[in-house]
Amino acid sequence: MLKNIVLGLRTIFSFWIVAVLISFIIRGIFLFFYKTEFNECGLADLAGGLIFDISTASMFVVPVIILWLMPFKKLFKVSMCFLFFVYIATMIADWLYFPFQQRHLGYEVILMQARGFELQLIDYITTYWHWIVAGILLLFASCKILRLLRAFDYEIQFIYKTIVLLIATPLVIIGIRGGFQLRPIHMTDAGEFVRPTCAPLAINGVFSFIKSFEGTPAEWQVDITDSEACACLKPFRTPIQSNNKNAKQPNILVLVIESYSREFSIMGSHLAGRPSMTPFLDSLALHNASFINYFANARRTMDGVVAIVSGIPALMRGTYIYSNYVSPYHVSLPQILEKYGYKTYFFLGSFLGTMGIYQYSTLVGFDRYFSMEDYPDQTHFDGTWGIYDHLYLKWVANVMDTLPQPFFTVVLTLSSHQPYAVPDSVADKLNEDDKVLRSLKYADYAVKTFFHELEKSGLLDSTIIIITCDHPMAPYSKAFANRISVFAGNLILINTPLRGVDSNRVVQQIDLFPTVLDIAGVPDTVFSIGISLFDTITDRFAITYYDPLWQWLTDSVLISFDNKTFICNRVYLDSLIIGQEIKCPTTELCRFKASLHFLKKYLENPIDATRNMESECGTGLGT
């Protein structure tokens, strides 16, 4: 009897041991390859993540037990190999995903894919084939170890399987929960086992993917009351009064360039140690209003669009567009501008529905969405994402010339993104062998073409143009591989009176929301954590999410929060360096807490939250 029980337990926990070993090894490789991003982390932090490996392996054992109870030995072996394949593939996918998004894998990755995904998948396979080979070898090694452990020798009577189940079940439950505490461990608990700045290292891809299905996306909790928050920060946009109330409303164009990082422009090329890849955009930056310390609030395209259009930073693991919080009651630029005579348009030369942006555009009230299907010549398809940028932007300029004015238009480019497709007719002109850098040069060329078309139509002089990124690209150099520099983007404003303002001040994507309202002369007071670029008085900041840390950045300090502890570091923005740990400034700590407090309330119930905030805080207009 005892022999049979031991045999059964050995079968189950052989799989558990191998699963723990796999996740630990892959996290170790992760640390090795991304040491520059985790230069504060070492073996102790790697070991601290074992609790998440144990929890993940315990979840993995659940289907193992279910299949083990069935009287199908051959099915059991095949199923185990398939489960390990999924387990290893998810771990490796997370490993490849993190440097691009600065967050671990979640279910939203599945929702992000739309038409054309099969073409993107082929490119990913050809690009990362060596990791596929590594995964196959790891799978083979895992199966070999399981055979050595005799994990497949499970032919014992059902009565003994029942006894094994009674013994194993509580152990598995404790493992899944991560201990005996009241609440199962979650992503935000990483700071209890490793230093908060090393929290991303502690978490593996399978754990993050499974946990992304749980609970509410807005997971942060701060200890602050409404009245305390109001004393630190007013959560409303205060209109900047125009001196000329009879001025004609300008056209407004927001050009969102895919992966337009500071690293590859004149603003950051000196830190990267290479020439700028964007000479035309650099010339625009030098002769118009531009900001050196501009930070994105997002690491995904769809989140960047939401930050600009709705003023909501990407502080959730999942994306706002696919969350339960998405709501037409969150104020947005099209909804507001429509009341003041603007027609609103969104251009994206990809498939209709890509990344859910079309659905979002209809929710927030854009009058028209132009997709790849609207473009007249489908032979200009790049093979993966959509229409080549220089051709699509030329067409966009011609369409814009026919639109009723004043208009508010958002145009999103495609090409400077995996697989970094550049048409053969242009590639020879770019003089660059590296496909990533070549795609950035091509994006710059495409924008130059766009501006020539706008100039020919006369729209260049009659339109205020905001050029920004959706999110920065994965870092190419060490200087841009820490948790502030990965958010460093570019911002240029053309035909505005902003030229001459302090270009060194910290600004962020969500600041564009109130800025556009000021450009349009809108008098409404609406919820906004962002600060208009025309506001030269309010102290500025940038708020970001570096999974699982929420971050607050000013010109001198970085505050990090893991849902339990606030840690402050000195920062040196001229070199994008995170310095020594310091005591948290009381004022900035309070403003950080207040912003998280207000944003959470606004996401959960925008109408009631806005009403309550107006009552408690006033609107900043003498109330």
For residues 380 and 387, the answer to whether their CB atoms sit within 8 Å is yes
Out of 13-17, 448-452, 545-549, which region has the weakest mean confidence (pLDDT)?
13-17
pLDDT at 543: 97
Mapping DSSP onto H, E and C, the string for 502-562 reads CCCCCEEHHHHHHHHHHHCCCCCCCECCCCCCCCCCCCCCEEEEECCEEEEECCCEEEEEC
Beta carbons within 10 angstroms of residue 373's beta carbon? 12
Q: Strand, helix or coil at 109?
A: helix
For residues 566 and 559, the answer to whether their CB atoms sit within 8 Å is yes
Q: Is the pLDDT of residue 585 over 80?
A: yes
0.85 surpassed by pTM: no
Mean pLDDT of 539-564: 93
Out of 164-178, 184-198, 407-421, 503-517, which region has the weakest mean confidence (pLDDT)?
184-198
- Residue 622's pLDDT band (boundaries 50, 70, 90)? very low
Q: Is the pLDDT of residue 245 over 60?
A: no
Kindly report the average pLDDT of the chain as a whole number: 84
Mean pLDDT of 558-566: 92
Residue with more model confidence, 601 or 240 = 601
Q: Is the pLDDT of residue 23 over 80?
A: yes
Q: What percent of the chain has pLDDT over 90?
A: 40
C-alpha distance from residue 491 to each of 300, 403, 552 (Å): 17, 26, 19
pLDDT at 182: 66
φ, ψ of residue 550 in degrees (nearest 5): -95, 140
- Return the beta strands (E) in 161-263 as ranges: 251-257
* CA separation for the pair 298, 320 (Å, rounded): 11
* CA separation for the pair 609, 288 (Å, rounded): 38
Rounded to the nearest 10 degrees, the angle between the axes of helix 586-604 and helix 606-617 is 140
C-alpha distance from residue 400 to each of 129, 444, 449, 564 (Å): 42, 20, 15, 49
Side-chain half-sphere CA neighbours of 251 within 13 A: 20
Residue with more model confidence, 460 or 214 = 460
Q: Over the Cα atoms of the chain, what is R_g?
A: 26
pLDDT at 399: 96
Out of 116-120, 174-178, 286-290, 613-617, which region has the weakest mean confidence (pLDDT)?
116-120
- Residue 621's pLDDT band (boundaries 50, 70, 90)? very low
Out of 145-154, 560-569, 611-620, which region has the weakest mean confidence (pLDDT)?
145-154
For residue 177, the surrounding DSSP H or E stretch is helix 158-177
- Residue 488's pLDDT band (boundaries 50, 70, 90)? very high
CA angle 204, 207, 209 (to 5 degrees): 105
What is the tens place of the pLDDT at every residue in 25-84? Answer: 888 888 887 777 677 788 888 888 888 899 988 888 888 788 777 767 777 777 777 888
Q: Is 66 left (phi over 0), alpha (psi -120 to 50) or beta?
A: alpha
- Residue 124's pLDDT band (boundaries 50, 70, 90)? low
Which residue type, as a one-letter code, is found at position 202? A
